[in-house]
Structure 1
């Protein structure tokens, strides 16, 4: 199974590159399943229902989020209408929405997607390791699910790596989001789980993590806040990671980054 995970979509530029590039990638390379992190899609802060639906129209099967999930307050309502809109699974009991779901891929495979949030240097939620473990017990790989993907929205690389080793051999992919910079450590761990510390962002890289650089530079050099951060509007890069999942084991046999458009070096996976 060919699976694509797309990193945090930031603002209008990020949405544009998804709309322009994702449909062609799905058709040209016969992608079976696509996950998109959309938590910064609405002006860099959260996501609206209309934008969520636009991402689905472009080809996303599931949209994940992170710490900005509730920045657009309407998400508290529309999250209940869409099972393929995920907020972090380790929010307290009773929080609207869902943090995991079992979905059907285009090839008929059952894909369990989980969205978890880290606790180091972030507002602490419930234990992400316990939350993920409980969900896996209910839908184990090779039994209820044919592939399992974890979007671990976290600040600390060490916490992301710990999650990957904790789950090695039990899931297909652990991929980090949140820091908006693609990492070079994509790999398959010893027991078959693919890992990448951060998928990067889908946005304008002539920026400060997707935001126009003027205000961040001013704040850093003067210690005086000025205007609100605004997404950079230049040509964006669609950034993410692709894997091949073994149809028998549900583990990963190949992993490579994806970088299309914009100013970053371009990369299309060799196995597409």
Structure 2
């Protein structure tokens, strides 16, 4: 089967790149399931109900997220009622939403998706490695096909997660840093790995934000508000070819699609 994972969608430019590229990519690569990280899709910070609906209407089947999922107050009831929206599983118990799920393709193929957040240079959350152990053991009862979105800052932590989960999941794909890395590979145990899938948003920007305010923040060290940029939209993603019987990754290809 073919699974397309799309990197962090940032603001209107990201949604534009998604809507104008996704159908073509699905048709060209015969994609069975589309997963996208949407935590920055609403003006660069968080998600709203209308933006989430827009992502689903564009053809996304499952939306993952990260630390910015909490940026909009209205997200809590959405997380409770929308099974196709995931937030990192290793936040403290009792918070709304879920961090994993099993989703079916149009052909009835079951695919598990896990959303985790790193701790290095980020919040001191529950251990993502131990959280992964419990979630993956449960998902493997339903399917050998499992994708992990590891939303983390440090390359070392992402690589560690890839090796830790090798042979137990189909792919570990990193998000959060918004810059696509060139280290896609299939690990010894059959797990596809990419440190960061990149960003779907403006390329005439600093990780999706307008350049001038970002530069001002660096130069003055003052709390300047950042705004999502709009020019030169591009979609970044990764195409995974997965064995439906074994769950192993048999192909991994980075994608970059402009308008």
Task: Name the TM-score class by shorter chain.
Answer: over 0.9
Counterpart among 207, 215, 238 of residue 241 in structure 1: 238
C-alpha displacement of 1:184: 0.2
- Number of residue equivalences: 259
- Which ranges of 4 or more aligned residues in structure 1 deviate by more than 6 Å? none
C-alpha displacement of 1:224: 2.8
Q: Distance in 1 between matches of 2:22 and 2:79?
A: 23
Matched residue, 1:197 = 195
Higher relative helix content: 2
Matched residue, 1:110 = 110
C-alpha displacement of 1:81: 1.1
Q: Distance in 1 between matches of 2:190 and 2:105?
A: 20
Matched residue, 1:187 = 185
Matched residue, 1:253 = 250
Q: Distance in 2 between matches of 1:83 and 1:221?
A: 42
Superposed, which structure 2 residues align to 1:1-272 within 5 Å? Answer: 1-140=1-140, 143-226=141-224, 228-261=225-258
SS at match of 2:17: helix
Deviations 1:195-216 (A, max 9, x none): 0000000011111100000011
Scaled by the length of structure 2, the TM-score of the pair is 0.97
Which blocks of at least 5 consecutive residues in structure 1 are unaligned?
263-272
RMSD: 1.0
C-alpha displacement of 1:22: 0.8
Which blocks of at least 5 consecutive residues in structure 2 are unaligned?
none
Q: Distance in 1 between matches of 2:196 and 2:133?
A: 21
Q: Structure 1 residues 215-224 or 247-256, which shifts more? A: 215-224
Scaled by the length of structure 1, the TM-score of the pair is 0.93
SS at match of 1:55: helix
